[in-house]
Amino acid sequence: MMHSLTDRGGWSAQPQTHEGKMHTIGNEHQVSRIEDLLEDILDEIIELEAYAKEGKRPPLAKGYRFKINDKSFVWEKQYITGREVLVLAGLTPPENYTLRVKLAGHKPQKVELDEKVDLRHPGTEKFRAIRKEQTDGEVQGRRDAPLLDADMAFLEAYGHRFDIVKDGSTWAILHDFPVPSCFDHKSVSLAIRIEQGYPMTPLDMLYIYPKLSRIDGREIPQTQVEQPIDGRIFQRWSRHRSGANLWVPGVDCLETHVFLIEEIFEQEASR
């Protein structure tokens, strides 16, 4: 059976209110369909990311441009299934991947292969796909401390070399982590402190090596503190969850924190 993300309850870092739900039911859905029929179709390609950041619903258009794993693609229909997203990006067979859709201001939501996503839903921004299994023959890095099985599965599927280092605290360090072109390095080593009490205790901040600077010379706020980790000096980015992005035990984990870090870099690039 094919489902639509617009048919399910909404998702955010806080308990969901009726107003925050994504699904449309009853007369509201009928009114939306009538509005669609009356709306003119723009003869152009719509950039979903731009509309998502403004919190606006994209208009009916010739096509919709969005990112899958940071690469841009165009789809000429309002709806797209998880399977179609993966095939569009050349990620086949689709069964080997886990797909999530990102809505501006919210956490990534898993999309099943035959589930439909409404590209005109306000905030629909981009997709992230990761392999479900580790590639055979990869050289395993350091594993100084155990992690939760779900966190190890995510790191193995995420696509970057990583080490688990014990140096006072336990650190997950992802290597060759790409950053936007506004910085003086193309990639960094990203360290995340696994706090005592995690996953009930939230993960917080991020640490990077080598130190990043903006190529336009502008200062990056709250990055002056240095953190020694395993013989190297990392730059601490003091970024904290707030508002709609508060840590929710049982929902948030290392995976959602990494996706938040991706967004932190994008926000700094657009500043």
Which residues make Cβ contacts (< 8 Å) with residue 216, sequence separation at least 6?
182
The reply to whether 92 and 199 lie within a common domain is: no
| Residue 143 belongs to a domain | no
pLDDT for residue 41:
81
The reply to whether 189 and 97 lie within a common domain is: no
Distance, CA of 12 to CA of 14 (rounded, Å): 5
| Residue 191 belongs to a domain | yes
Distance, CA of 20 to CA of 188 (rounded, Å): 36
CA 41 from centroid of its chain's CA atoms:
30
pLDDT for residue 39:
66
Which residue in this structure is represented by tokens 């009490």?
197
| Residue 138 belongs to a domain | no
The reply to whether 263 and 155 lie within a common domain is: yes
pLDDT for residue 35:
56
Cis before 108 (ω within 30): no
Q: How far apart are the first and last CA of the chain?
A: 43
* 210 compared with 25, residue with greater pLDDT: 210
The reply to whether 105 and 176 lie within a common domain is: no
The reply to whether 162 and 245 lie within a common domain is: yes
pLDDT tens digits for range 33-80: 555 555 678 889 999 999 998 889 999 999 999 999 878 999 999 999
pLDDT for residue 22:
37
Count how many domains the chain has: 2
- Of the three residues 80, 99, 131, the one that is the final residue of a domain is 131
pLDDT over 90 for what percent of the chain?
A: 61
- Mean per-residue pLDDT, 188-199: 96
Distance, CA of 79 to CA of 117 (rounded, Å): 6
The reply to whether 70 and 126 lie within a common domain is: yes
pLDDT tens digits for range 137-173: 455 689 999 999 999 988 988 878 999 999 999 999 9
| Residue 141 belongs to a domain | no
The model's confidence at residue 11, banded by pLDDT at 50, 70 and 90, is: very low
The reply to whether 21 and 60 lie within a common domain is: yes
pTM: 0.64
The reply to whether 18 and 120 lie within a common domain is: yes
User: What residues make up the domain containing 17?
Assistant: 3-131
The reply to whether 50 and 108 lie within a common domain is: yes
The reply to whether 127 and 153 lie within a common domain is: no
Distance, CA of 58 to CA of 64 (rounded, Å): 9
Number of neighbouring beta carbons within 10 Å of residue 200? 9
DSSP state, residue 30: H
| Residue 140 belongs to a domain | no
| Residue 142 belongs to a domain | no
| Residue 167 belongs to a domain | yes
| Residue 256 belongs to a domain | yes
pLDDT for residue 232:
97
pLDDT for residue 25:
23
